[in-house]
Amino acid sequence: MDTRRKFIQQGLLAVTAATLAGVPNSFALADPQRGHKQGKRDDRFNLGVAGYSFVKFGLDESLAMMKRMDVRYLCIKDFHLPLKSTAAEIAAFHEKLAQSNVKGYAVGPIYMTKSKEEIDNAFEYAKRVGVKLIVGIPNKEDLGYIADKTKTYDIRYAIHNHGPEDKLYPNATSIYELVKGLDERMGLCFDMGHNMRDGRDPVADIKRYHTRIFDIHLKNVTSATKEGSTCELGRGVIDIPAFVKMLRKVGYGGMCSLEFEKDMNDPLAGLAESAGYFRGVLDASA
Amino acid sequence: MDTRRKFIQQGLLAVTAATLAGVPNSFALADPQRGHKQGKRDDRFNLGVAGYSFVKFGLDESLAMMKRMDVRYLCIKDFHLPLKSTAAEIAAFHEKLAQSNVKGYAVGPIYMTKSKEEIDNAFEYAKRVGVKLIVGIPNKEDLGYIADKTKTYDIRYAIHNHGPEDKLYPNATSIYELVKGLDERMGLCFDMGHNMRDGRDPVADIKRYHTRIFDIHLKNVTSATKEGSTCELGRGVIDIPAFVKMLRKVGYGGMCSLEFEKDMNDPLAGLAESAGYFRGVLDASA
């Protein structure tokens, strides 16, 4: 076993132990990296895609795009796998992903602000899908109820921040303050773009809140204001090399999933450029 | 003027002085970089596309792809601007490029192995197009004749290496040995992929031959053998961060133009991933 391979396997073991216990076995077989010979890429965090990037596309087309980019982790959105899916439908879904060498590592974001039943359904869904992480948007008054669920199911729950328009969770701080006293399975899906749009520093916030950051929506934005919008990863106001440096410093062990909300009718070019940029930063700074 | 802007302008001045005197004025107005706020990217070498990447596409489609990637320099191939083009056709071509914020910085590769007339035509063409660099494939016995032309026209001539199948110029060494004693306007368009396919080290060869390297076909390949083929820039056997480090060390002042010979019927995703990768490496290592 060469050093590179060993490093990948060690990385996988660490990720598996930390965040992905119980995910189907095929996970451990998938090589999360490309056929790269440099041996420099940091394997503790892996590149994925947030399902919302493919909101205009069915699963087959989405997987074809992931294959072009060689991105192997997907945060599953309900338009690709409805919450009411049967066991057979879920099995077929996983099989289809496996054929494209893709792993569904989490579900969400799932809105659950209307009733407790939505919370119950989300946990049952995650259990049936076989993932250990839900990205969600809950009511604040339900957080205690959700914390109990995370214990019962041993499934982590990551609240998604959505920028200055979001009355509940505009930024990482607003979520961290709510979950820091709750069960350690309660945390954040850190949307670094919306955080920046709310005038918050994504690098500093990774440092502050990393113990509760379970997932990242990897993106850049055109300005640090409400008017900012998603752009290709290397073209925005967030300093991605500094962001990656901080991820390494704190030992982030989760996924970095591209959520590309530009050119949504034809997102492949922007997603591919962003994937390339992230890999270039990783390789050049490892 | 902020530091970033100043740095860009200084970079442009250096490039202009060194290699691009006589190019139409609009060159100096084009910002060669994206709206990136990090102030880290090295401006001495700029990202372009080698026209051959678009061999299956007309000019309009090619420019649309360049716009998606925000790549602003094109090495002009004859299928986009034939050698017999009139002054009016050339003016219209430049105008179309300018509308997409693209600059044609050189012409070629042009084959000129059949007659001296092809050489004469190529220099007249480059002069009419207004570029100061020809990428060419000549006969070895015509190199003296071509060296005289480069003096007469003050147009540099870069011979393209084409890998182990190429009887004339398989690698950078084969060209350097032929041109090192000729006029300093005689040099190489360094195809790093074909060089690697011929078992040669692209990083070491940049160090050895940089004084005669006027243009680079930026690419990666799947193996360091004849069987190797082009792949996305971050997925091959060439260590791109090390390559960029050497470009900086020797002060390379030319273009790095992506030549993507995979998925040629639908190259945008691979080109965009490669452009992103190169920018990520530049930003993370500056």
Tens of pLDDT, residue by residue over B51-64, are 999 999 999 999 99
Residue bearing the bigger pLDDT, A193 or A2: A193
pLDDT the model gives residue A16: 36
Taking the CA of residue B225 and the nearest CA in chain A, the distance in Å comes to 15
- Per-position b or e across B104-135, b if 16+ CB within 10 A of its CB: bbbbbbbebeeeeebbeebbebbbbbebbbbb
Residue A26 pLDDT exceeds 80 = no
Q: Determine if the peptide bond prior to A32 is cis (ω within 30°).
A: no
Task: Find the range with the poorest average confidence among A36-50, A218-232, A242-256, B60-74.
Answer: A36-50
pLDDT the model gives residue B138: 98
Concatenated DSSP letters for B232-264?
Answer: -TTSSSS-HHHHHHHHHHHT--SEEEE---SST
Chain A residues touching residue B237 (CB < 8 angstroms)? 37
Residue A187 pLDDT exceeds 50 = yes
Look up residue B141 and give its two tokens: 């016995």
Across the interface, of A222, A276, A284, the residue whose CB is closest to B274 is A276
Residue range A184-191: average pLDDT?
98
Chain A residues touching residue B38 (CB < 8 angstroms)? 239, 241
Q: Are B116 and B145 in contact (CB under 8 A)?
A: yes
Which chain B residue has the Cα nearest residue A222? B35
Taking the CA of residue A273 and the nearest CA in chain B, the distance in Å comes to 4
Kindly list the distances between the CA atom of residue A64 and the CA atoms of A68, A108, A268, in Å, as whole numbers in the listed order. 6, 21, 10
Concatenated DSSP letters for A175-227?
Answer: HHHHHTTS-TTEEEEEEHHHHHHTT--HHHHHHHHGGGEEEEEE-EES-SSTT
Across the interface, of A222, A237, A269, the residue whose CB is closest to B269 is A269
Strands (E), chain A: 46-50, 73-76, 103-112, 133-138, 156-160, 186-191, 213-218, 220-221, 230-231, 255-258
Task: Tell me whether residues A273 and B69 touch, CB distance under 8 A.
Answer: yes
Q: How far apart are CA B67 and CA B64, in angstroms?
A: 5
pLDDT the model gives residue A30: 31
pLDDT the model gives residue B141: 97
Q: Count of CB contacts below 8 A, A vs B?
A: 132
Residues of chain A with pLDDT > 70: what percent? 84
Tens of pLDDT, residue by residue over A130-174, are 999 999 999 999 999 999 999 999 999 999 999 999 999 999 999
Task: Tell me whether residues A280 and B276 touch, CB distance under 8 A.
Answer: yes
Residue A25 pLDDT exceeds 90 = no
Residue A36 pLDDT exceeds 90 = no
Task: Tell me whether residues B276 and A274 touch, CB distance under 8 A.
Answer: yes
Look up residue B280 and give its two tokens: 């990520």
Helix (H, G, I), strand (E, B) or coil at B186: strand
- List the single best residue of A196, A273, A282, A285 to mutate versus B (max B Cβ within 10 A): A273
Residue range B58-85: average pLDDT?
97
Chain A residues touching residue B241 (CB < 8 angstroms)? 38, 40, 280, 283-284
Residue A208 pLDDT exceeds 50 = yes
Q: Determine if the peptide bond prior to B109 is cis (ω within 30°).
A: yes
Q: Give me the domains of chain A, ranges plus CATH numbers.
A: 2-284 (3.20.20.150)
pLDDT the model gives residue B110: 98
Within 8 A by CB and 6+ apart from A90, the residues are A81, A128, A129, A130
Task: Tell me whether residues B272 and A273 touch, CB distance under 8 A.
Answer: yes
pLDDT the model gives residue A8: 41
- Tokens 């530009």 belong to A262
Chain B residues touching residue A244 (CB < 8 angstroms)? 284
Task: Tell me whether residues B272 and A277 touch, CB distance under 8 A.
Answer: no
Taking the CA of residue B279 and the nearest CA in chain A, the distance in Å comes to 6
Tens of pLDDT, residue by residue over A5-20, are 444 444 433 333 333 3
Task: Tell me whether residues B40 and A241 touch, CB distance under 8 A.
Answer: yes
> CB-based contact (8 Å) between A284 and chain B?
yes
Residues of chain A with pLDDT > 90: what percent? 84
Chain A residues touching residue B40 (CB < 8 angstroms)? 241
Taking the CA of residue B280 and the nearest CA in chain A, the distance in Å comes to 4
> CB-based contact (8 Å) between A42 and chain B?
no
Within 8 A by CB and 6+ apart from B4, the residues are B37, B39
Which chain A residue has the Cα nearest residue B41? A234
Chain B residues touching residue A268 (CB < 8 angstroms)? 268-269, 272
pLDDT the model gives residue B43: 52
In B46-105, the residues whose Cβ lies within 8 Å of chain A are 65, 68-70
pLDDT the model gives residue B286: 77
Task: Tell me whether residues A279 and B277 touch, CB distance under 8 A.
Answer: yes
pLDDT the model gives residue A15: 38
Within 8 A by CB and 6+ apart from A165, the residues are A226
Chain B residues touching residue A68 (CB < 8 angstroms)? 269-270
Across the interface, of A65, A240, A280, the residue whose CB is closest to B278 is A280
Q: Residue B126 carries which side chain, given as an amino acid letter?
A: A
Task: Tell me whether residues A35 and B222 touch, CB distance under 8 A.
Answer: yes
Tens of pLDDT, residue by residue over B4-28, are 444 444 443 333 333 333 333 333 2
Task: Tell me whether residues B235 and A36 touch, CB distance under 8 A.
Answer: yes
Look up residue B64 and give its two tokens: 């649309």
- List the single best residue of B41, B274, B281 to mutate versus A (max A Cβ within 10 A): B281
Strand A73-76 to strand A103-112: parallel, antiparallel, or no bridges (unpaired)? parallel
Q: Are A200 and A175 in contact (CB under 8 A)?
A: no
> CB-based contact (8 Å) between A249 and chain B?
no
Task: Examine the predicted complex and report whether its ipTM is higher than 0.90.
Answer: no
Helix (H, G, I), strand (E, B) or coil at A228: coil
pLDDT the model gives residue A2: 42
Tens of pLDDT, residue by residue over A213-251, are 999 999 999 999 999 999 999 999 999 999 999 999 999
Helix (H, G, I), strand (E, B) or coil at A47: strand
Q: How many CB atoms lie within 10 A of CB B244?
A: 24
Taking the CA of residue B168 and the nearest CA in chain A, the distance in Å comes to 30
User: Which of the 8 DSSP states describes residue A161?
Assistant: P
